[in-house]
Structure 1
Amino acid sequence: MGSIASQPRSRLFAVISGAALLLVLYIDLAHSNSILVKQATSSSSYFRAHYIQQQYKQETPVCRIQFVFTGTKYDYDKFPMLQSWLQYADPKCAIELVRANHAFVDELTPAERAMFDDSAYLPILQADFMKLLVLYYLGGLVTDLDVSPMKRFPDDWTGPNTALATCDVVLGSEVSCFTDECASGYVRKGQIQNWSMWARHRHSPFLGELIGFVVDKYKTFPVHDKDVAVQEVAGSGPITDFVNRYSGLDVPYYDAKTSKDSNATLASDYSKVFRMHKYGEEVCIVGTYYTGGPVGSQAGCRDSPEFCMLLHAFEGSWRHG
C-alpha cells in the first residue's frame, strides 16, 4: 500500500519539477543575456571543444589548395601566380576558388554565420574570416593570389622528410620584427601573417577555438564601421593574440624556446619552428625563413631557399573594387 500511495506523490513531484524547469528556461530565454542562447550560439561551445575534438582524431589528411573570393576582386590580370601552383602542387591535390556561396557555409554555427553575413559590408573582413573558416571546415592550404610556391606542395612543405612533418596546423611569422620601434608599422610585434595558412585535417581544435575568439571579438566592434582596422577583425591582430594566449606561456610565442635543448627562439633564429601541443594536435608557428620576409623587403623569404616554402609578392590581392 505504501508503494501504491507513493505513486501519486512521485507523479506530482515530476510534474512540479518539470514545470519548474520550464519556468527557468522561459525566464532564461526571455533575458537579453540568456545563458542557453549564448551556449547554443558560441563558436567555442562545449560541443566544439569536446565532441569535435573526438571527431578530429578520426579525420584523414586532406590535400587542397584554396583561394578565397568575396565581393568584387580587382585587377585579375596582376595575379599570374595561379599557374605556379599547377606546376608545384601534387596532381592529386584539389585547387579551388572558394566563394561566399560555397557548400561549407551551411555547416557554420549560428554565431559564425552571423559574423560571416554581417562582415560582408566590407569584403576584406569577410575574406579574412572566410580563410579561417575554410581552414577549419575544409582543411588544406588557404593562400592569397599573390603568393606562389617555391617548393613542391605538400611533399617539400610538410612531407615526412621535412621539419614540419609532424605539424597539424602551420602558421607563419610575417616579418622579423620584435621590438616596439620596429613594430610601429604593424599591428603586433611578431605578427602572424594570414596570406598562407595550412591545416592537415578538417576540424582542427586549435582553429575551432581561434574562430570562437575572432567571433567574440567581432561583437565588440561598432556596427558596420568602414574605418575599422582591418587586421584587427579576423587578420593578423587576433590571430597573433590568440596564439599567445593558446600557448599558455608568460612570454610571447616568438620569445619562447623552440626546443628543450636550445635557447633559440623565433626572434633570434628565423629558421626555427615554435610548436604547441594541445588536444592531441601539434600547432606550428614557423620563422620568417619559411613564409615571411625581413623588414623592408618585398622578396618574401627568397633569400632563405633552404627553408622558403612560398613567395609573397605583396601585390595587394586583398583589395576589392
Structure 2
Amino acid sequence: MSFSIPTFPQQRRIVTSTAGLVTLLLLFYSYYSYAWSHPKTNLQWIPTSTTPSLIPRKIWQVLLPMPGTVHAKGLADAQARSWLLMNPDHTFTRLSTDGAEDFLRQHYPETPAYLDTFRGLPNPALQSDFLRYLVLQAEGGVYTDLDTNALQPIGSWIPEEHRSRAKVLVGIEWDQRDEKDLWGIFAYPVQFQQWTLAATPHHPILEDLVHHVLDSFHNLTEFYNTPLDRLSLSDQEILMATGPGAWTGAVWRYMEKHGVTSLRQLSYLQKPTLVEDVLIYPVNAFASGQAHSGAARWFTPKEALMKHNFKGSWRVQS
C-alpha cells in the first residue's frame, strides 16, 4: 500500500521501507483510537464490489489561506484521517495555492484563462470552488471539503447495478418537498451539494460548469464595472457563480437532455437513482444532520456515505 502526504506547497512523498512501516503502524493506531472514540461513525473497511468503479481512485482537498474578511471557523486537519484510513487504495492530494497554480499550469497549458481567473479571484471560497471543478475535469476522482469525514469507503458508494455506468455522483442538499422555501438561500426546488463531488475526468457536466464560471465572472465584472480582483460579491452571487447553485445548474442542464423535465421529479428520492451516467443520491447520503429536506438530524443513518460538519468557512463575514 502507498499513499501521498501532501504538504505546503503541494508535494507528494511516497512512504516506503522502514519509515513506511512505522507510518502504517501509527495509522492503524490512529484508526483504532478514532473508532473507539467515535463508535457511531461506521469507521470500518468494508469489502467493496468486484465490479470496478469508473471513478478514478483519487481523493482531492483544497487548503487556501483565508484573508481577514473570511472567518475560518476552526477548520482542523483531523478530518483527513478518516479519508486516508477508509480508502487505503486511493491517492490523497491536498492542494495549497502554489500547488493549485502548478496543477493548472501542468494540466491546462493551452488555457491560461483558467490560471489567470484563479489568481484573480478575490475570495478563497471562489478559488476553492473553481479549483475543485478544474481538478475533477482534468483527473477525476473524489473532491471533498476540509470539514468532512468519511463514513463508508468510496469503493462501496456505488450500488452494484450502477457501477458500470455511473460517471458522476451527485448528492441532494436541499429538497423543498411540499413546503415553502423559508430559507431563502436556495436557487432550485431540489439543489445539489458540492462539498463532496465525484466524477470521471472530462465529463460534459464539468466542462459546462467551467465555462459557466468564466462567463459568470465576465458578466459580474461588466455589471459592477470592477476588475475581477476587486469584486465584492454577496453570498447569493457566490452560490450562483461557483457554488451549489452553479453546480446544480450544470447537472440540471445535462439531465434535461436525458429526459428529466423537472428537478421536482427527484423530490422525496429514496434510493440512488441513475440518470444517464449521473447517479443521484437521496439527502442522507451526503447531507445528513441538516434541519430541513427530510434529513436525519439527530443521528447518522446507515445510508450516510460521509459527514459534512457545516463549518461554512466560505461565508464572508460582515
- What residue number does 2:311 align with? 315
Alignment partner of 1:239 is 2:235: no
> What's the CA shift for 1:127?
0.8
Distance in 2 (CA, whole Å) between partners of 1:274 and 1:302 is 27
> What's the CA shift for 1:303?
4.2
> What's the CA shift for 1:148?
0.8
Contact 1:299 1:312 in 2 (8 A): no
> What's the CA shift for 1:195?
0.4
- What residue number does 1:64 align with? 58
Question: 1:127–1:301: structure 2 CA closer, same or farther, 3 Å change rule?
Answer: farther
- What residue number does 1:253 align with? 263
Q: Structure 2 residue aligned with 1:81, among 79, 102, 107?
A: 79
Distance in 1 (CA, whole Å) between partners of 2:218 and 2:311 is 31
SS of corresponding position for 2:60: strand
Structure 1 unaligned spans of 5+: 1-59, 256-265
Contact 1:173 1:292 in 2 (8 A): yes
Contact 1:271 1:288 in 2 (8 A): no
Distance in 2 (CA, whole Å) between partners of 1:150 and 1:320 is 29
SS of corresponding position for 2:190: coil
**More divergent stretch after superposition (171-180 vs 73-82):** 73-82
Question: 1:144–1:314: structure 2 CA closer, same or farther, 3 Å change rule?
Answer: same
Distance in 1 (CA, whole Å) between partners of 2:280 and 2:151 is 19
Alignment partner of 1:94 is 2:87: no
1:36-72 deviation digits (Å, cap 9, x = unpaired): xxxxxxxxxxxxxxxxxxxxxxxx8521111112233
Residue identity opposite 2:92 in structure 1: I
Question: 1:214–1:170: structure 2 CA closer, same or farther, 3 Å change rule?
Answer: same
Aligned-pair identity in percent equals 23
**TM-score, reference length from structure 2:** 0.66
Distance in 2 (CA, whole Å) between partners of 1:215 and 1:180 is 32
Matched ranges for 1:1-321 at <5 A: 62-72=56-66, 74=72, 78-89=76-87, 91-102=88-99, 103-106=102-105, 107-108=107-108, 109-119=111-121, 121-153=122-154, 155-158=155-158, 161=160, 163=162, 166-178=165-177, 179-182=179-182, 184-199=184-199, 201-221=200-220, 222=224, 223=226, 224-228=230-234, 229-248=237-256, 249=259, 251-255=261-265, 266-275=266-275, 277=276, 282-293=277-288, 295-296=290-291, 303-305=300-302, 307-318=303-314
Residue identity opposite 1:173 in structure 2: I
Contact 1:291 1:301 in 2 (8 A): no
> What's the CA shift for 1:316?
2.7
Question: 1:145–1:241: structure 2 CA closer, same or farther, 3 Å change rule?
Answer: same
Contact 1:175 1:294 in 2 (8 A): no
Contact 2:62 2:128 in 1 (8 A): yes
1:10-44 deviation digits (Å, cap 9, x = unpaired): xxxxxxxxxxxxxxxxxxxxxxxxxxxxxxxxxxx
Structure 2 unaligned spans of 5+: 1-53
Distance in 1 (CA, whole Å) between partners of 2:313 and 2:163 is 27
